[in-house]
Amino acid sequence: MHSIVARAWGALSEGLKFGERRAGLKFFLEWAMGLKSSDNWCMTIPFSKMHGTGNDFVVIDETQRSYGLSEKDYRFIADRHFGVGADQILTVRLSADPEIDFEYHIHNADGSEVEHCGNGARCFLRFVREQGLSQKSPLRVKIKKGVIELVDTEDGQVSVKMGVPVFEPSLIPMDVNHTQEVASSANGFKTWQVTLPGLETVQFASLSMGNPHAVILVSDAEAAAVERLGPSIEHHPAFPNRVNVGFMQIRSRQDISLRVFERGSGETLACGTGACAAVVSGIRWGLLDAKVGVKTRGGSLMIEWAGEGHDVVLSGPAVTVFKGELDRP
């Protein structure tokens, strides 16, 4: 099998220019792994287990070969009893665009693919460095919802330009026919309300950080009803693509505590896009300054936002826990 694939790539790549080879290799790898999977060929998949403030990931290098993983495979890998265990799985790939250094895909523990993940982005950069894939800085990376930029910081952490927040309901997306506007600040930032089963009402801010978020103000994050309210809001008809639900306690104008119930994963120890969404909401509510520390159950993050039209910048740690190999039948 290996010799057949090698000869096929040699024939395909002969005569291609360098830039064409980069794009051709990506296509060929996907074809080759489809051939192998159709033969039920057992694969050994190297991986790194990583975390960013306790939000944990299995990271897989697909720059040289595609493993053709299915939703079932992602669920198996993420399973904490029968697989490796993770909130999400990241697959690192080459980009066919010469202006983009890499691309990576993000799958939740339930196998669904999502648009963005701030903690995962930091782990991605650490993985690329440790695997010797690139030392370029800043690194431009394509994700499902656009392009982000990552840099190493002098204190050994990772800083990510997470993109510009989106507030237009149709782009979050949020269906306003299933919500009620209950307040609007002087700058036009709206607070919404939904009714949950049992006729309980919840007020929140809604925005997209490349993925949808609802942010709820609470007096005590530790006492918040995350497990009770999170699933009901995640699956509410107001959110056609489901939603990540943040529970934010404001401690000062520069400091918040946050818990997040992530769609497809449940509550995680930290959520990078959730931290960005919470701070942006607090700033637009007039409750927070432009630079805010975020305390999560897994550790601390720093969020900076200069206002509408500007990227949100997320900074925090990224740690490799161990490396291993996984046999996929």
- Residues identified as active-site: 117, 271
Say if residues 214 and 183 touch (Cβ distance below 8 Å): no
Q: Are strands 244-252 and 212-217 parallel, antiparallel or unpaired?
A: parallel
Contacts 24+ apart (CB under 8 A), 302-306: 303/275, 303/276, 303/279, 305/165, 305/276, 305/279, 305/280
Rounded CA separation 59/55 (Å) = 13
Question: Identity (one letter) of the amino acid at 315?
Answer: S
Q: How many residues does the chain have?
A: 329
Rounded CA separation 124/190 (Å) = 34
Convert 107-121 to b/e letters by CB count within 10 Å (16 or more is b).
Answer: bbbebbebbbbbbbb
Q: What angle do CA 157, 57, 319 make, to 5 degrees?
A: 30
Distances, alpha carbon 181 to alpha carbons 118, 188, 237, in Å? 29, 12, 16
Name which of 212, 207, 211 is nearest 191 in CA terms. Answer: 207
Rounded CA separation 233/77 (Å) = 27
Say if residues 53 and 259 touch (Cβ distance below 8 Å): no
For residue 307, the 8-state DSSP code is S
Convert 248-264 to b/e letters by CB count within 10 Å (16 or more is b).
Answer: bbbeeeeebbbbbbbbb
